[in-house]
Amino acid sequence: MQSIHDCYTLSNGVRIPCVGYGTYKAAEANNADVIRMAVDAGYRYFDTASFYETESYVAEALKSSGVAREDVFLASKMWKDEMGYEQAKAAFARTLERLKTDYLDLYLIHWPRPDAEYADWKQLDLDTWRALEELYRMGKVRAIGVSNFLPQHIENLLQNSTVKPMVNQIEFHPGYAQEATVRYCQSHGIQVQAWSPMGRARVLNDALVQELAAKYSVSAAQICLRYAVQRGVIPLPKASSRQRMEQNQDLFRFAIAQEDMFRLDTMPQTGWSGLHPDL
């Protein structure tokens, strides 16, 4: 990978950029300005979700930019209360309407269960996945996948469905690398993506991350993002300033040495959001 526009190839042959722009809380001013700035900064992969309430802002930013739809990779996710066969199809239709498009490049189930007490989550996941399979076969979405699914959740789909998830989007950053899930996905040909790829302030201020930032003459954020790139994980950073947006793309003029990658791999748990799919 030499730039954010270089692509991985998903298991079904669809090409997906190696870095995207995350839109969670990217429109807190209730307008499309920040997302339009990301378009102008060069991002062409935008990750959104019904829960983020940024889909309409993504559509507005892209329309005003003049960038052609086929030159953009659009991904969205259904929320916990949109799961189920009919509900998922209805949620997808609402997402298309808000994004002002007639297809998505990627559509994900946001979480594997509505809450920790939901006993029959396996059947709910299968009903929801059946709707995504149908949308995929109809050509309404080019690739389908999951988010925050652990191996036990994905196994349920693999054993009882006909289309394998092509993507799993999880929390991933130094200090919370989710080794079991990453290794499981990569061994099954499922592309891993990272939400919160820079962790939180505790990660960016961590002594090791700061040490490596100084060593490689880059920012702490760039260390975290480069770590994901070298692990074969797609980071989805969010930034609200043009300078940060451009800095977060500058990941390809340096490489983290293997010894330092091992040090990042083995950091104590740091900066975890506290969110767990089963709790």
pLDDT digits (tens, 9 = 90+) for 99-149: 999 999 999 999 999 999 999 999 999 999 999 999 999 999 999 999 999
Q: How far apart are CA 176 and CA 174, in angstroms?
A: 5
Would you state the pLDDT for residue 123?
A: 98
Phi, psi (rounded to 5 degrees) for 245: -60, -45
Structure confidence by residue, pLDDT tens digits, 191-244: 999 999 999 899 999 999 999 999 999 999 999 999 999 999 999 999 999 999
Closest of 3, 72, 60 to residue 26, by C-alpha: 60
52 catalytically annotated: yes
Structure tokens at 266: 């083995």
Would you state the pLDDT for residue 30?
A: 87
Structure confidence by residue, pLDDT tens digits, 48-102: 999 999 999 999 999 999 999 999 999 999 999 999 999 999 999 999 999 999 9
pLDDT band at 152 (very low <50, low <70, confident <90, very high): very high
Would you state the pLDDT for residue 27?
A: 87
Catalytic residue among 52, 57, 107, 176: 52
Would you state the pLDDT for residue 148?
A: 98
Would you state the pLDDT for residue 77?
A: 98
Q: Does pLDDT of 28 surpass 90?
A: no
pLDDT band at 155 (very low <50, low <70, confident <90, very high): very high
Residue 197 · residue 248 · CB < 8 Å: no
Would you state the pLDDT for residue 29?
A: 85
